Amino acid sequence: MYASSIYNLRVNEARDGVLVFNTFSGALVMLDWDTYQFLLGVENNQNPESHEHFSELLRQGLIVRRELNEANRVILTEKRTKMLSRRDTLKFLVGPTLACNLDCQYCYQSEVRRNIAMSEGVWEDLFSYICSRFEPTVKRLHIDWFGGEPLLEHERIARFSVRMASHCKEIDVEYSAGVITNGVLLSQRLMGVLHNQCMVKHIQITLDCLVDNYCRLKGATAEDFYTVLDNIEQASQLCSLTIRLNTDDDNYGDMKELARHLLVDRRLRGKVRIYLAPIEGTDSAGEGFMKRFLTQMEPEFLGYLVNQLGYSADGLLPQYKGVYCGLVSPDPAIIGPSGEFYQCEHHFGDSSKVTGHISRGLYYTPNQLDLLNVDIPLACSDCDILPLCLGGCPRDRLEDGLSVDCSSRRQNVLKKIRLYCAHNGWSLDWNHGEGRSQG
Ligand code: SF4
Ligand code: SF4
């Protein structure tokens, strides 16, 4: 009647027991050896309910009902989540311009970067389009501004936001916004406008490296670099901030020093979230880069943040999110400066990937359908980290033929969990016994 979950990951073992992480439920549990043996044998146990820890193991998802097909649950949930419209929340990623004030070498928009910005007419149509999506069930509207560099259009963003916020208030819809920016233009004055008038609650700034590499890799000046650092410090007073560090073999050497400068010298510990993002496919990301990133760079960097800089370990435990990419959906979510729709943010600015328009509706193009039809590969059904990996980015698989380096992904998951445990004082012998808990 019952079985041990296929998502029980045996993180490690020690004299006293086994540490198990369930990649679906997120439960992290230290089991003594007797309970662990009970878990492994639960399928053949005639009276499992009588075990003292049965109810708790069931509640934590380490034990499941035998008829439950756990892999199909993950695969179907992913399919359903991406195909169903959310009825209570509208979310848009809007790029009011393709232009940018920097010239990052890795930018996937570099081939399409042009001085195209939203005209007054398109801003008007954008307002009407978003209003047309307010069904009676909608309770929240969230817009993330991106680009190009969205803050080049900050005046129009502010005008639009004031009007939209006022309309939302009238119809009792909660309005919030975010900005994805390189941070150069994010002055104290502009930050005030974004916060007070544009309802911006979150800002993501892409920083990437120390000053020398910053100038070389982004076509920027040293003054730009220090301006961004000052802007980060000021912006952190008003809203939540994420610092994205795009990483390849070339600039990884800068990351620890940059993080130390932000968290310690600039006293931003507890005020900003920092994460590394791999840049694939550039000349500076050599062969085997993703393997190095997953198995060495990211775990090492996180270890440094948590153990040396006092950064919170709370975000280390990986979480099941149901769907790999919330932007892949039948409803338009990404809007470009001409009012055009895209299915994926990597398509932004590429006219061959446009899927519709705010005034003309969806075109139901083959590329929209192709991306929506990318499901989790059936080969992933046996994988114990499927709830965390979900087969990887659908666009990467469809368009670049990239597949996930499964063994490295798994090591990455295990290393993060161990880092979390070590930080929280779980004393385990870290040299033994990783693997699936079924034996
Ligand atoms: S690149 Fe992948 S994760 Fe990013 S928006 Fe496109 S489909 Fe989603
Ligand atoms: S791509 Fe690999 S690691 Fe990811 S879910 Fe599939 S088998 Fe697992």
- How many angstroms is it from 72 CA to the middle of ligand 2? 14
**What number does the ligand 1 atom closest to the CA of 393 have?**
2
> Hey, whose CA ends up nearest to atom 3 of ligand 2?
406
Q: How far is the CA of 60 from the centre of ligand 2 (A)?
A: 23
Phi, psi at 334, each rounded to 5°: -110, 125
- Ligand 1 neighbours, Cβ below 6 Å, are 325, 327-328, 344-346, 393-395
Kindly state the tokens that stand for 411: 């090591």
316: CA distance to ligand 1 center in Å?
Answer: 22
Distance CA 371, CA 65 (A): 34
| pLDDT value of residue 271 | 95
* Single-letter residue type at 200: V
Q: Mean pLDDT highest for which of 105-109, 233-237, 277-281?
A: 233-237
Give 58's pLDDT tier (boundaries 50, 70, 90).
very high
Residue whose CA is at the smallest distance from ligand 2 atom 1: 391
Q: What is the pLDDT of residues 165-217, one digit of tens each?
A: 999 999 999 999 999 999 999 999 999 999 999 999 999 999 989 999 999 88
Which amino acid residue places its CA nearest to atom 7 of ligand 2?
380
Q: Counting beta carbons within 10 angstroms of the beta carbon of residue 44, is it exposed (0 to 12), middle (13 to 18) or buried (19 or more)?
A: exposed
User: What is the predicted pLDDT for the residue at 108?
Assistant: 61
- What residues form DSSP beta bridges with 357? 340, 361
190 and 207 Cβ atoms separated by less than 8 Å: no
pTM over 0.95: no
For residue 115, give both structure tokens.
């001085």
Contacts of 161 (CB under 8 A, 6+ apart): 177, 197, 198, 199
Segment 149-157 mean pLDDT? 97
CA distance 274 to 113: 27
Closest C-alpha residue for ligand 2 atom 2: 406
Contact 332, 341 (CB under 8 A): yes
Atom number, ligand 2, closest to the C-alpha of residue 377: 6
Residue 438 in this model has a pLDDT that exceeds 50: no
Question: Is there a contact between 235 and 202 (Cβ–Cβ < 8 Å)?
Answer: no
Q: What is the pLDDT of residue 171?
A: 97
Q: Whose CA is nearest to atom 6 of ligand 1?
A: 344
Q: How much of the chain exceeds pLDDT 70, in percent?
A: 94
Distance CA 383, CA 376 (A): 11
- Burial 264-285, CB ≥16 within 10 A → b, else e: eebebeebbebebebbeeeeeb
Q: What structural domains does the chain harbor? A: 2-68+423-436 (no CATH), 79-316 (3.20.20.70)
Contact 99, 148 (CB under 8 A): yes
Distance between Cα 114 and ligand 1 center (Å): 22
For ligand 2, residues with CB inside 6 Å are 380, 383, 385-386, 389, 391-392, 404, 406, 409
Angle 83-84-89 from CA coordinates, rounded to 5° = 130
DSSP for residue 377: P
User: d(Cα 247, Cα 131) in Å, to the nearest integer?
Assistant: 39
Cα 80 to ligand 2 centre (Å): 20
Higher pLDDT pick, 32 / 111: 32
Average pLDDT, the chain: 92
144, containing H or E segment: strand 140-145
How many residues in the chain? 439
Nearest protein CA to atom 2 of ligand 1, as residue: 393
> Taking 50 as the threshold, does the pLDDT of residue 91 lie above it?
yes
Closest Cα to atom 5 of ligand 2: 386
What is the secondary structure of 185-200 as a DSSP string?
Answer: T--HHHHHHHHHTS-E
Percent of the chain with pLDDT over 90: 82
- CA–CA separation, 19 vs 433, rounded Å? 10
Q: Tell me what the mean pLDDT of segment 340-363 comes to.
A: 95
Phi first, then psi: what are they for 205, rounded to 5°?
-115, 130
Q: CA 168, 200, 89: angle at the middle one, nearest 5? A: 45
Ligand 2 atom index nearest CA of 390? 5
Alpha carbon of 322 to ligand 2 centroid (Å): 15
Question: Cα–Cα distances in Å, from 150 out to 93, 179, 293, 370, 386?
Answer: 11, 8, 29, 29, 35
Q: Do residues 2 and 57 make contact, with C-beta atoms less than 8 angstroms apart? A: no
